[in-house]
């Protein structure tokens, strides 16, 4: 093979860089200010939200004072922290970013651990539905500028789910179980299946607790722990351990979840289709069940109108009440866009109004954003060319 016929080993990297540049140029034209957070970030802020299990994904180091740092594993939280550090925190602002993020492959998995990602974040806008539509439209347009067109869009609404669960009025432990199961894409059948009892002794204790008043049950567990001389374990007090026992008893016995409530939950989470069709189905369900979902559904319809006003075809989108993104900070509109034959999304994003307060803001700040995975964009671009 002659030198002029040698393959260009830099071609994939150059193509990815060109796509990233095209996306960032589009975001700038759309009014988003470029901002790049530092590569080194405080590790604790990610572990606090994702748990210690996420530690295996982080590239960790420590500084001279012993503080634990990590290479940037995503952009949203670093951009939020930088925004909160400015005098304009709380005011409307819109940022774009693009560069490397770093997530170590899990033990035994293969992969480089460095990914190119671009995205946008919008803060401080009270016209939430219009901001949601802007982020979705800007992300799809930018992906098209990077070569990916005709992506399938799936949307959900964490705020609508929360309003539905308010009306369903489940016991707190069951509500938490539904919320966590929904976030993990579990079916309603899985969510409402009682946890396995571990051993006859535990089964007997849980069954006994389920048959008495909750206050008496709590005192009983606290007394048993005191008699046994059990001191707080893992930072938990006797009262907290007792509460955990009561939660397990409630789950095991299925207390507080009537067949009617379970059937209503199954009907709600089964609703799927184009936004206007889904909205009509949700309103009928709410009316039949005498649930007040008016505010949440009015917001849903307003957002759909803003999306349509941007020239996006709602009939090409699918709303699913069961759809969720696997991050617990989302509080409203969520979405993903992908090739029809791919499991991993090219674009993902949503609204996270409560996140900034957990990062140090004095009050909740409206916020919505989206991220584009540049390495996944390549496959979507090839699919678009073939079509």
Span 296-320, pLDDT tens digits: 999 999 999 999 999 999 999 999 9
Confidence of residue 65 (pLDDT cuts 50, 70, 90): very high
Same domain, 103 and 35: yes
Give residue 137's domain range. Answer: 8-151+339-386
- Highest average pLDDT, of 201-210, 220-229, 362-371, comes from 362-371
The overall average pLDDT reported for the chain is 84
What's the mean pLDDT in 270-281? 97
- Domain finish residue from 253, 272, 294: 253
Same domain, 222 and 348: no
Residue 2 tokens read as: 């002659």
Give the C-alpha separation, 122 to 131, whole Å.
7
Same domain, 133 and 233: no
What's the mean pLDDT in 344-370? 96
- Domain finish residue from 253, 272, 287: 253
Give backbone dihedrals phi and psi of 65, rounded to 5 degrees, phi first: -90, 0
pTM tops 0.85: no
Lowest mean pLDDT among 9-18, 126-135, 271-280, 329-338: 9-18
Q: Is residue 128 part of a domain?
A: yes
Q: What is the percent of the chain where pLDDT is above 90?
A: 59
CA distances from 129 to 68, 133, 200 (A): 38, 6, 52
Q: Is residue 290 part of a domain?
A: no
CATH code for position 366 = 3.30.930.10
- Domain finish residue from 238, 253, 268: 253
Span 158-212, pLDDT tens digits: 999 999 999 998 888 788 888 888 888 888 888 887 665 454 444 555 555 555 5
Q: Is residue 14 part of a domain?
A: yes
Give the C-alpha separation, 155 to 130, whole Å.
15
3 state SS of 337: strand
């Amino acid at each position: 093979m002659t030198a002029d016929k040698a393959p260009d080993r830099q071609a994939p990297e150059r193509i990815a860089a060109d796509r990233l540049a095209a996306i960032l140029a589009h975001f700038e034209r759309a009014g988003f200010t470029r901002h790049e957070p530092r590569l080194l970030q405080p590790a604790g802020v990610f572990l606090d939200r994702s748990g210690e299990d996420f530690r295996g994904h982080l590239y960790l180091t420590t500084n001279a004072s012993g503080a634990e740092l990590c290479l940037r594993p995503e952009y949203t939280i670093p951009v939020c922290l930088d925004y909160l550090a400015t005098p304009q925190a709380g005011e409307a602002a819109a940022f774009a970013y693009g560069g490397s993020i770093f997530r170590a492959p899990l033990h035994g998995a293969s992969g480089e651990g460095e990914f190119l990602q671009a995205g946008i974040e919008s803060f401080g806008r009270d016209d939430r539905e219009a901001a949601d539509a802007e982020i979705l439209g800007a992300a799809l347009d930018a992906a098209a500028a990077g070569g990916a067109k005709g992506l399938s869009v799936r949307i959900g609404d964490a705020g609508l789910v929360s309003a539905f669960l308010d009306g369903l009025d489940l016991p707190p432990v069951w509500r938490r179980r539904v919320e966590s199961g929904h976030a993990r894409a579990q079916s309603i059948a899985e969510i409402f299946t009682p946890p396995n009892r571990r051993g006859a002794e535990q089964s007997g204790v849980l069954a006994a607790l389920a048959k008495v008043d909750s206050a008496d049950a709590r005192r009983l567990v606290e007394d048993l722990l005191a008699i046994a001389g059990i001191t707080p374990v893992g930072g938990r007090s006797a009262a907290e351990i007792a509460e955990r026992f009561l939660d397990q008893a409630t789950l095991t016995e299925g207390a507080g979840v009537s067949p009617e409530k379970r059937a209503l939950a199954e009907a709600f989470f089964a609703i799927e289709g184009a936004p206007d069709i889904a909205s009509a189905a949700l309103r009928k369900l709410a009316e039949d069940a005498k649930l007040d979902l008016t505010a949440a559904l009015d917001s849903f319809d307003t957002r759909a109108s803003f999306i349509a006003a941007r020239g996006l075809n709602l009939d090409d989108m699918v709303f699913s009440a069961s759809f969720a993104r696997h991050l617990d900070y989302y509080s409203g509109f969520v979405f993903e866009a992908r090739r029809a034959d791919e499991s991993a999304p090219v674009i993902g994003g949503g609204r996270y109004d409560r996140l900034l307060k957990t990062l140090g803001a004095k009050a909740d700040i409206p916020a919505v954003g989206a991220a584009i995975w540049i390495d996944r964009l390549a496959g979507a671009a090839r699919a678009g060319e073939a079509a």
